[in-house]
């Protein structure tokens, strides 16, 4: 296992379209996290899963955002009716415990 992977690495979409991102964590990690990073800022927490259970959600996660981790392995983050303000890098991280998080390369979303 070479680490956390995310797909796609880049996504360009038109305003109003739906997009879905995928994250594959390190296989033995039961914790999975999503963050959003805008230019010049540090990442901001979006949501957290332990196995398949979504245990914490940020207020940043509006009704247009939904995340799943159906079998406790990979996770998807969907954004419906995208807006220009959704343009950002979306980072996924995984962890085996309440400790170091291992980050993926991110998916850069551009909404035109």
Partner 1 sequence: AQTVTQSQPEMSVQEAETVTLSCTYDTSESDYYLFWYKQPPSRQMILVIRQEAYKQQNATENRFSVNFQKAAKSFSLKISDSQLGDAAMYFCLTQGGSEKLVFGKGTKLTVNP
DSSP assignment string, 56-73: EE-TTS-TTEEEE-TTSS
Binding of partner 1 by 21 (CB under 8 A)? no
> Phi, psi at residue 106, to the nearest 5°?
90, 160
Binding of partner 1 by 54 (CB under 8 A)? no
Binding of partner 1 by 91 (CB under 8 A)? yes
Binding of partner 1 by 103 (CB under 8 A)? yes
Q: What is the DSSP letter of 86?
A: G
**Span near partner 1 by CB under 8 A; candidates 12-20, 64-72, 78-86, 96-104:** 96-104
Phi-psi region of 95 (alpha: psi -120 to 50; beta: other; left: phi over 0): beta
For partner 1, the binding residues (CB under 8 A) are: 3-4, 31, 33, 35, 40-45, 48, 50, 55-56, 58, 91, 93, 98-106
């Amino acid at each position: 296992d070479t680490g956390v992977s995310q797909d796609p690495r880049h996504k360009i979409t038109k305003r109003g379209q739906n997009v879905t991102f995928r994250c594959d964590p390190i296989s033995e990690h039961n914790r999975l996290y999503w963050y959003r990073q805008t230019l010049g800022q540090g990442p901001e927490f979006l949501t957290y899963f332990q196995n398949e259970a979504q245990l914490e959600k940020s207020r940043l996660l509006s009704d247009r955002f939904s995340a799943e981790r159906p079998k406790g392995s990979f996770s998807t983050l969907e954004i419906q009716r995208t807006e220009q303000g959704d343009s950002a890098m979306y980072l996924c991280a995984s962890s085996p415990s309440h400790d170091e998080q291992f980050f993926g390369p991110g998916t850069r979303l551009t909404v035109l």
